[in-house]
Amino acid sequence: MATAALPAVPAGFTGRDEDLARLFPVLDPAAESDLPVVICAVSGLGGIGKTSLALCAAHRAVRDGWFPGGTLFVDFRGYDEDPVTADQAVVALLDGMGVRGADLPQTTAGQYGLYRRLLAEESRSMLLLLDNASDPGQVMPLVPGTDHHRVLVTSRDRLTELDAQLIDLDVLNAEDATDLISRSLRLSDRSDDRATREPEAVSELVTLCGHHPLALRVTAGMLRKRRHRSVASLVNDLRGAEDWTAAVGLRPIFEAAYQQLPPEQARLLRLLALAPAAEVGSETAAAMTDLGVDQTFDLLEELAAAHLVTPVPGGADVRWRLHDLVRAFGVGVVKVDAELWGEGATARERVLEFYHRWAKAADSWLRWLPGMPAPERFPDRAAALAWLDSERAGLVAAVQWAREERYADTAIRLSQRLAEYLDWRRSFDDKITVCGAAREAAHRAGNQVGEAIAWNSLGIALQETSRAEEAIDAHTRARDLHQMIGDHHREAAALSNLGNALRETGRVEEAIDAHTRARDLFQAVGDRPSEATAWDNLGLALRETGRTGEAINAHTRARDLHQAVGDRHGEARAWNNLGGVLWEAGRVDEAVEACEKALEGLREFEDWYGTGRTLYNLAFAHQHAAHPAEARTCYLQSADAYTRANAPTEAADAQSRADSLT
């Protein structure tokens, strides 16, 4: 149980340089501290490598002569069925200090008294490594009463009751995880170069293990037994395993931790495993539990103290991340119990409704114009965007639940609330995923309106990803469905988008016809903001046919309509398009003025893609007006804006043009 000699550091230990750098200043007996005794408590998920780290740090400290008084090591077996108590540990510690037989006091009080006296009389610094403690009560009675000794504790729980420096240990980074596999193989057989020959398979294996050290060691052991088989073959076998946590040897650890949780914490862990994303906000977690945010937050903090979830600070709402292996374990618990599966399905319905309510409010802010009632829940547009950004992974994943009939209706409605946002952030791959799932679900359910809306949104994303022919098909399907239903307003929207796709493929006359019909339909239903957009799109098509005067008139009409309804962002887009056609007409000064007005509105709305495009047009105008310095500045600013808009191709083009002007 206790020994004066430190156990060896496990073979293959690697990485943890940053964690060791945090440990050493606390262990150094020469370091000053305002605590009565310097204690460091390393905590983390079971199998994360706490003991290995502590032993590595302890051995290096002893090697450097920090603890001439010696070391004492106790394994408290804190998470076994019969953990070591402090009373048992003090006897073992005394034994490690040479007190045994007749010299050992017969009473517990006498034993503690002798233990503390020996430590106080030992003038040379000692290190006490108290490993695998599950409760502060195991450790507190053993803390020396003098400040020249050091205590290093490891635990799966954050021992916040201790006056100690707390160090949370996370999984390895990708490089160190890969190195662990490689070192483990070469320790067994120096000629085993599979890690070098199969870097992609090793990377997949590391990902499957969630960078968890124990899982990596177990899989490395599997590879050593399969000496003449590839790493890829093990990856394939693990991918086919029903329970990854069992396959990589972690299920017993997770099972023990789960069994020790109070009922409400265990329920929350199960529900988090079924959440749409591995990381959720506190309010999303509260929606799953159907408890208040404060109560859910308290439960989340308890799970974080047990290292079953990880808090991710940032913004107004703390987010919580579930490790992939813990998530897999939680799903496994739920799958084998019909009652727990039903509990999880109900929680998913709640989180979908929560997402839809909040996404609806956020979407309303993105479409809000002066004179409209202020949408609920968010104070302004920026807050709405911030929430959508923070929850994007969960929102996109939740829409994919539409493939299950139980969730289909709400997930379809949620997809419609995400379309504008995903366009705004230019997250077109996510939009294709969202719209594809919604379209399939709506078609199965016979929901023609939902299907048509999904086709139309899908077409926009397809065009933006250079799949214009597919976009034409999608918008045509949307138009035909809306026409059949008799929804002329949405028919007009599909026609407007169809016109853009047709123009992209060179079918400009058809595009002009589509935009003209869209404009007329929007006029008929009285939708002035959409009419303005139709005018703007029509101007772009007219410009491509050389009908410059008509294009200038169309963009001017679009600008004036956007101004009339207070749509400053739409007005800025119209100014940009007007600037382009004015330049073609030789009206350079007016073109520059139009672009500058466009920039005002685009920057106000943080439309960085539009800003990059306008600056590019402005740079082009300056370049042809023989103003190279102004052109280069605009190209550089355009590259910066495109970078902020996550448009690397456009950014590289603008940077290249700037470089050509040096």
Q: What is the pLDDT of residues 366-403, one digit of tens each?
A: 998 887 888 888 999 999 999 999 999 999 999 999 98
Pick the CATH number of 527-589 from 1.25.40, 3.40.50, 1.10.10, 2.60.40: 1.25.40
What pLDDT, on a 0 to 100 scale, did the predictor assign at position 369?
82
4 pLDDT band (50/70/90 cuts)? low
Tell me the average pLDDT of the chain: 90
Average pLDDT over residues 476-484: 96
Q: How far apart are CA 164 and CA 35, in angstroms?
A: 8
Handedness of CA 620, 621, 624, 627 (dihedral sign): negative
Average pLDDT over residues 125-143: 91
Q: How far apart are CA 407 and CA 352, in angstroms?
A: 8
The encoded tokens of residue 477 equal: 């399907």
CATH superfamily of 2-169: P-loop containing nucleotide triphosphate hydrolases (3.40.50.300)
316 pLDDT band (50/70/90 cuts)? low
Residue 206 reports pLDDT greater than 70: yes
What pLDDT, on a 0 to 100 scale, did the predictor assign at position 243?
77
Average pLDDT over residues 598-627: 89
- Give helix 231-239 / helix 199-208 axis angle, nearest 10°: 30
80 pLDDT band (50/70/90 cuts)? confident
What pLDDT, on a 0 to 100 scale, did the predictor assign at position 6?
85
Cα–Cα distances (Å) from 313 to 26, 108, 282, 306, 379, in that order, read 25, 45, 11, 18, 22
Q: How far apart are CA 374 and CA 380, in angstroms?
A: 8
What pLDDT, on a 0 to 100 scale, did the predictor assign at position 1?
45
What pLDDT, on a 0 to 100 scale, did the predictor assign at position 568?
92
- Length of the chain (residues): 662
Angle at 78 between CA 72 and CA 81, to 5 degrees: 135
Helix, strand or coil for residue 319?
Answer: strand
Of 37-46, 148-157, 250-259, which one has max mean pLDDT? Answer: 148-157
Tell me which CATH code domain 607-662 carries. Answer: 1.25.40
Pick the CATH number of 251-336 from 1.10.1040.10, 3.90.1420.10, 1.20.200.10, 1.10.10.10: 1.10.10.10
Handedness of CA 489, 523, 519, 530 (dihedral sign): negative
478 contacts 508 by C-beta, under 8 angstroms: no
What pLDDT, on a 0 to 100 scale, did the predictor assign at position 276?
93
What pLDDT, on a 0 to 100 scale, did the predictor assign at position 354?
96
Residue-wise pLDDT for 212-265, tens only, equals 888 888 888 888 888 889 999 988 988 887 777 887 778 888 888 888 899 999
Handedness of CA 480, 562, 537, 640 (dihedral sign): negative
Q: How far apart are CA 594 and CA 603, in angstroms?
A: 14
Q: How far apart are CA 448 and CA 439, in angstroms?
A: 9
36 pLDDT band (50/70/90 cuts)? low
Tell how strand 150-155 and strand 126-131 pair up: parallel
Q: What are the boundaries of each domain within the chain?
A: 2-169, 174-240, 251-336, 527-589, 607-662
Average pLDDT over residues 166-193: 89
Q: Percent of the chain having pLDDT more than 90?
A: 61
Quote the pTM value: 0.78
Helix, strand or coil for residue 130?
Answer: strand
Q: φ, ψ for residue 73 (rounded to 5)?
A: -125, 130
Residue 448 reports pLDDT greater than 60: yes
Q: Do domains 251-336 and 607-662 have the same CATH topology?
A: no
Residue 73 reports pLDDT greater than 60: yes
Q: How far apart are CA 39 and CA 254, in angstroms?
A: 27
Residue 267 reports pLDDT greater than 50: yes
Q: How far apart are CA 91 and CA 508, in angstroms?
A: 90
